[in-house]
Amino acid sequence: NEVEESYIMIKPDGVGEIISRFENNGFKLKGLKLFHCPKQLAEEHYKDLSSKPFFPKLITYITLGPVVCMAWEGVGVVASAHKLIGATNPLQGEPGIIRGDLAVQTGRNAVYGSDNPENGKREIELTEWTPVQTPWLVE
Ligand code: DAT
């Protein structure tokens, strides 16, 4: 079993109870920030879904307000986080599962978690981005 990292993103309506769920599972919180995601970055984060009919709505949701971006570390954290978060459709969530407890609709499912360790790494790096104009504004 490898130590890996998962990028967990609490969507605009879920900020609050969710952090403790990961903490209680014994994972290490490596970084956290409140972040109002620019549209361009939201599209990059979800680029694999860009051809889906719900893509524009998904981007609207994720950019409605600030999200909480987190990097969680631990053995098997990606798979464990996926279990804690539950099915894409919150109505399929059992009690005790984050989306089942805290969300109702697929389009407002409160939290995101990386699908695999490679994506975890990519998505964590993505939110540490430097805006393209920064080198033009700051020496
Ligand atoms: P997950 O977030 O469970 O990993 P995903 O990566 O397949 O699911 O999809 C990303 C998000 O896109 C999901 O959290 C909500 C939205 N979505 C997926 N399928 C949808 C659908 N059929 N209708 C509306 N939104 C959908």
How far, in Å, from the CA of 109 to the mean position of ligand 1?
8
Pairing outcome for strands 111-113 and 3-10:
antiparallel
Handedness of CA 87, 90, 108, 103 (dihedral sign): negative
Q: How many domains does the chain have?
A: 1
pLDDT score at 133:
74
Sign (positive/negative) of CA torsion 26, 127, 65, 44? negative
Q: How far is the CA of 106 from the centre of ligand 1 (A)?
A: 6
Q: What is the pLDDT of residues 8-62, one digit of tens each?
A: 988 765 566 788 888 888 899 999 998 999 999 999 999 999 999 999 999 999 9
Q: Phi first, then psi: what are they for 77, rounded to 5°?
A: -65, -30
The enclosing domain of 74 has a CATH number of: 3.30.70.141
3-state secondary structure of 126: helix
Ligand 1 binding pocket includes 89 (Cβ within 6 Å): no
Q: Is the CB of 107 under 6 A from ligand 1?
A: yes
Listed residue (121, 123, 114, 120) closest to 37, CA to CA: 123
Domain boundaries, position 30:
3-137
What pLDDT is recorded for position 131? 65
Instruction: State the pLDDT at residue 95.
Output: 86
| Atom number in ligand 1 closest to CA 87 | 3
The reported pLDDT for the residue numbered 14 is 59
Residue nearest to ligand 1 atom 5, measured at CA: 88
pLDDT band at 138 (very low <50, low <70, confident <90, very high): confident
pLDDT (tens digit per residue) in 84-130: 999 999 999 888 999 999 889 999 999 999 999 999 999 999 888 66
pLDDT at 113: 96
What number does the ligand 1 atom closest to the CA of 115 have? 4
ipTM over 0.85: yes
Of residues 60, 51, 112, the one with CA closest to residue 81:
112
- Minimum CA distance residue for ligand 1 atom 14: 88
pTM: 0.84
Query: What is the DSSP code (8-state) at residue 25?
Result: T
Instruction: Enter the DSSP assignment of 94.
Output: P
* Interval 66-92: pLDDT, tens: 899 999 999 999 999 999 999 999 999
C-alpha to C-alpha distance for 80 and 110, rounded to whole angstroms: 17
